[in-house]
Amino acid sequence: GENVEQHPSTLSVQEGDSAVIKCTYSDSASNYFPWYKQELGKGPQLIIDIRSNVGEKKDQRIAVTLNKTAKHFSLHITETQPEDSAVYFCAADAGFQKLVFGTGTRLLVSP
Amino acid sequence: GAVVSQHPSWVICKSGTSVKIECRSLDFQATTMFWYRQFPKQSLMLMATSNEGSKATYEQGVEKDKFLINHASLTLSTLTVTSAHPEDSSFYICSARRSSGGALETQYFGPGTRLLVL
């Protein structure tokens, strides 16, 4: 079955810097890769997703890149702000419409 | 938008009682809903997949008699934790997929329900 690894587990940056979170997956049949942001005590919120027919997708300060050959995808946040501080999860579809999640990255943006 | 609600947001109960958690898709129809469990500082663990009008599919290691799931309509799924014990204390989160009108793979999550069993 699908396995998703996520790095780093924690990431501290200064406000205005960029942050990059990387994920690898094992199942070459996976075609859908969402990223979720989870704030303390809340449910995950979808922030961006990408499908296998696209190599990159951007939404304002957030971008995701996908390398299907290498089976890895990354989240890029530019001009980070303190409100970006949260736990970020990557995921990959695992058949039967299920998602397999990475282990999460705790991002801390210091003012 | 795609809004999913959960009720209650938190619950405290005595050991041995049953607790029901509701998950509703507010502005879309959801043929499929999912129930997850999350321990502190850990990732989301899928418990079961709930399909409207049929029995839920449970992940390996999840007791179906312990965690009863009902998906009676296209906008409502319920999770009942039966005879709850302290080890069932956790953060339970549901998600829903659209039946039509948009990206069908996307899961929209509810705000979660924090359960504490004393």
> Closest Cα partner for A6 from A107, A103, A94?
A103
| Helix H or strand E segment including B33 | strand B32-38
Q: What is the pLDDT of residue B102?
A: 60
How many Cα atoms occupy the beta-carbon half-sphere of B98 within 13 Å? Answer: 12
Q: Which of A34, A43, A97 sits opposite B93 (nearest CB)?
A: A43
- A-chain residues near B46 (CB < 8 A): 98-99
Report how far apart, in Å, the C-alpha atoms of B107 and of each of A24, A80, B13, B46, B102 are: 20, 26, 29, 12, 11
DSSP letter for A60, please. Answer: T
Q: State the average pLDDT over residues A45-61.
A: 93
Q: What confidence tens digit (pLDDT) does each residue in B23-80 have?
A: 999 988 888 999 999 999 899 999 999 988 888 999 999 999 999 999 989 999 999 9
> Other CB atoms closer than 10 Å to residue A86's CB: what's the count?
21
Report whether the peptide linkage leading into residue B8 is cis, meaning its omega lies within 30 degrees of zero: yes
Residues of A within 8 A of B48 (CB-CB) are none
